[in-house]
Structure 1
Amino acid sequence: MAEQGSSKGAEGGSGQFSSNKDLLKHYEDQGVQAMYAVEPLRYCDHLKEVSPLPECGLNVDDPCTECNATGENWVCLVCYQVFCSRYVNGHMVKHGEDADHPMVLSYADLSVWCYKCENYLDNTVLGPAKSSAHRSKFGQEI
């Protein structure tokens, strides 16, 4: 997920755009028809289903529980089982439906998705899981 308010990646670090609005105007001037930004929800009722982080923390290298895939996995924030994404074999989607566990964290980009709200979330309740995954992935604190 891109850092909100940052346009450095899009402008090449040149500092020529003083705001995101200026950057969007620049793209419009170049004929870009539409741009989309994902704005995560700050709250949903399903946050209450997030379980406390296991003492061992998270390991972003854990394979899918079903097929042992190691790319693009998600961890369920209710039971902390790891499954692959819909683009691999879809085991996390199936787990979410079968177990009725709506909250999952992506090991690819550390985003959190709620299946019931069909939206990304960003809330302090998710902090311990996101921090643990970040430590596992990058070897340092967020």
Structure 2
Amino acid sequence: MFYPPGQHLQVKTPSSPVSCLATGFYPHRASLVWKKDGEELHEEVDHGEILPNHDGTFQMSVDLNLSSVTPEDWTRYDCVFQLAGVKEEIITITVLVTAAVVVLALILIGAAGFIVYKKKKAPDNSTELSEQLNPET
């Protein structure tokens, strides 16, 4: 019996590799690769081990370094999972979706930083307000 995996992509920082994780598959004979324009990549790729899950299924990951790739070319990359003995490939979402999430996170972090900066930069009017409310006679 074959169990297909759940797959997802993860990016920790914009300069870190894109990690593709396949989990919950059975049996353990499987491959997980990065492809560019349908061709399997071997450079800039780091294959993880096939590891057991607590429920008897397996997981594996493969990382791709995209630091030298322009964002316009990210859509050319796919993470592809294939169980041994099964002809169909399972292709994850492309890197473009992950890049959009990273960009959104960076925008949110930038906005939060700007708000903190503005609060620290704002003049302290508490002394002036205190003097206005309690004038000396």
TM (norm. structure 1) is 0.28
TM (norm. structure 2) is 0.28
Larger Rg: 2
Structure that is richer in strand per residue? 2
